A = this chain, B = another copy of it.
């Protein structure tokens, strides 16, 4: 079988939309369907599978619901000025679940969805040996204010909102059943409840030239940005990339925070580009962002002064 990226590239080509109303098909964070007038419908789906994304021994229905909602809603926000509206949830369940688990999951799903303005509109139940939870979210955006993954040019500056590597470190603690002290708690929280940036995404929709969520780790995400836009991305690593909890946990355990930040995955921060002329505007309107690097002519991702190995995160 092809690699995940090989398959996604293949699918994007095979499914190349034939329908003119489909303004954007596979390959971006969301599909975009033209509703006529100013509005567009956004569609996205994401899934958590037992064994691949979580283990039952460190999960709870409340945590799975929290993450399932965030990982999907993140795709809506990363389209710019966009709002989630409703979701469908498809679950593969089995008899190994403790009594009351499914009911707790349902109540948590409702609660978590409401935090982002969504109702649970429907779903499906299937019998499965391996638990899995798939969500589809619809959202709405003004067509003019949608930011795609494409649109960056050489010379654009690459910025990030949200730190990197925290979720991966949290998962490591969970899998090894380690507490990790106070930073450990915070890292596990990055895994289960990654922070999202709806307000900032809306502000950025005025001038970001491209945007995606950082769900596959910085190195892979920048690889996508580079490939889709035909640019080379030069990265200057800085401790700003990592949350303080990651830095402190890495200092204590003698790990390299840069590996987590580069190869992490499941951080769901926003990666975006702006033209140099808009840097001042960016700093004024979205002060929490920080510079990751620059887009240049060429191709590939170059990490300045980093000669370590990047073991990219593989969901698949």
Contacts and interface: CB of A to CB of B under 8 A. Distances in A.
Interface of A: 1-2, 4, 7-8, 10-11, 14-15, 17-19, 21-22, 25-26, 30-31, 33, 35, 41, 43-49, 51-53, 85-86, 88, 90, 92-93, 95, 97, 99, 101-103, 106-107, 109-110, 114, 118-130, 132, 134, 136, 138, 314-316
Contacts of A46: 90, 124
A43 B130 contact: no
A125 B1 contact: no
Contact of A33 (B86, B134, B316): B86
Contact of A31 (B121, B125, B127): B121
Given A14-B106, A120-B15, A121-B17, A86 B22 contact: yes
A47 B121 contact: no
Tell me the interface secondary structure of chain A in the complex. Answer: mixed
Contact of A126 (B26, B49, B127): B49
A303 to B, nearest CB: 27
Q: Which 4 A-B pairs have the closest CB atoms?
A: A31-B121, A31-B122, A136-B136, A15-B120
A312 to B, nearest CB: 14
21 contacts: A2-B103, A11-B120, A15-B110, A25-B122, A26-B121, A33-B85, A41-B41, A41-B138, A43-B138, A44-B122, A45-B88, A47-B90, A48-B126, A49-B92, A49-B128, A51-B129, A88-B136, A90-B90, A126-B315, A126-B316, A127-B315
Contacts of A128: 49, 51-52, 130, 132
A49 B92 CA distance: 8
Contact of A8 (B49, B101, B125): B125
Contact of A107 (B14, B107, B118): B14
Contacts of A122: 25-26, 30-31, 43-45
Given A8-B125, A18-B119, A49-B126, A92 B132 contact: yes
Contacts of A103: 2, 10, 14
A297 B52 CA distance: 51
A97 to B, nearest CB: 6
Contact of A120 (B25, B48, B136): B25
A22 to B, nearest CB: 5
B47 A124 contact: yes
A132 B126 contact: yes
B15 A86 contact: no
A243 to B, nearest CB: 27
B119 A19 contact: yes
Given A31-B88, A86-B19, A128-B52, A43 B121 contact: yes
Contacts of A33: 85-86, 121, 138
